[in-house]
Structure 1
Amino acid sequence: MARVWFGTLWTGSIDSFEELARQFLTQFMPNRRRRCPVAHLLTVKQREDKSLKTYLTHFNKERLTTDNQDEKITLAALLGEIWPRNPFMAELDRKTPSTLREFLDRADDFVNPENTLKGLVELMKGELKAKHKGSLGDKKVAPNH
């Protein structure tokens, strides 16, 4: 966007770097997103119908919008907002991570098999539907009178 804007400037319309900086700020400051306080992360929750991976992706996007990425608050937000019946919570109950890095490593170890299992379940559902559809197509059903 900045390059396109710069290309639209008239030759000789800017006399100094200060003038360029002023026009640049005038052009782009209104578009700047306001940073959220780190406490905003406490509002990011995992929903029952969302996977751990989806939640962590959403959480990390929100984390990038915060002012101060304090590790302890980030870890507390992550631990407190995972859906309570998520199987990962049982993993965390055995030993609560003490650092953000430890949490992320354990989550990554959990997410990879979770994704593989979901893929296999979806594959099996598809195969069962296809098999069920095929068996219904072979049978003649008498109409109800």
Structure 2
Amino acid sequence: MCRVFPIKLKGPARVWFTKLAPSTVATFKELSGHFVTHFIGGQRYKRSSASLLNIKQWEDESLRSYMNHFNKEALLIDETDDKVLVTTFTNRLQPGEFFFSIYKNNLKMMADMLYKATKYMNAEDAMIAQGGRPKKRERQDDPLLDKGRKFARSRN
């Protein structure tokens, strides 16, 4: 098996194999152990669902951009729970019509969320194509909210 093993190797694995000192490997088990030990560092590990908390929709970011970013990160997570996906997605979403719709319709499944988001993204794209812009979120003049923002900025 040790003689057949290098035939299938390509790229960095073949280079690694050719650099092995002669007569240093006695069994196939030993060879496979060396191989795994050398290449385990290149293995991509799945992330935890806590990494979704780092994603948020920025004030000027489109729903489509936020969805793409969120979905890419969600795919890197091992064994995600639907409730966690929905919660993290909605908690980091900018307030607006879509945000209101999620809570109004009590969406609890990520598939429903994606379906609803697709409808909103298509409407947003149609408005832009016709020369219009989606409504910007109105700023609420709340002195406590402003004080909280200033405090959060000063801590960062």
Would you say same fold, with TM above 0.5? yes
Gaps of 5+ in 2: 1-8, 133-156
Q: Between the two proteins, what is the percent identity of the paired residues?
A: 27
The answer to whether structure 1 residue 10 and structure 2 residue 26 are counterparts is no
* TM-score when normalising by structure 2: 0.63
* Residue of structure 1 in register with 2:51 after alignment: 40
- Deviation track 1:59-101 (CA, whole Å, cap 9, x = no partner) reads 112112323311111111111111113x311322330212111
The answer to whether structure 1 residue 84 and structure 2 residue 91 are counterparts is no
The answer to whether structure 1 residue 98 and structure 2 residue 108 are counterparts is yes
The answer to whether structure 1 residue 28 and structure 2 residue 39 are counterparts is yes
Task: Please identify the structure whose Cα radius of gyration is greater.
Answer: 1
Alignment length (residue pairs): 120
In structure 2, relative to structure 1, the CA distance for the partners of 1:60 and 1:20 (3 Å cut) is farther
Q: Tell me, what secondary structure is at the counterpart of 1:121?
A: coil
**Match for residue 123 of structure 2 among 113, 129, 140:** 113
> Higher helix share goes to which structure?
1
Q: In structure 1, how many angstroms separate the alpha carbons of the residues matched to 2:64 and 2:48?
A: 24
Q: In structure 2, how many angstroms separate the alpha carbons of the residues matched to 1:30 and 1:11?
A: 18
- Deviation track 1:43-63 (CA, whole Å, cap 9, x = no partner) reads 311111111111111111211
Moved more, 3-12 or 101-110: 3-12
Gaps of 5+ in 1: 123-145
- Identify which of structures 1 and 2 has the higher relative contact order when contacts are C-alpha pairs closer than 8 Å and 6+ apart: 1
In structure 2, relative to structure 1, the CA distance for the partners of 1:111 and 1:24 (3 Å cut) is farther
Paired residue type of 1:84? P
* TM-score when normalising by structure 1: 0.67
Paired residue type of 1:99? M
Moved more, 45-54 or 106-115: 106-115
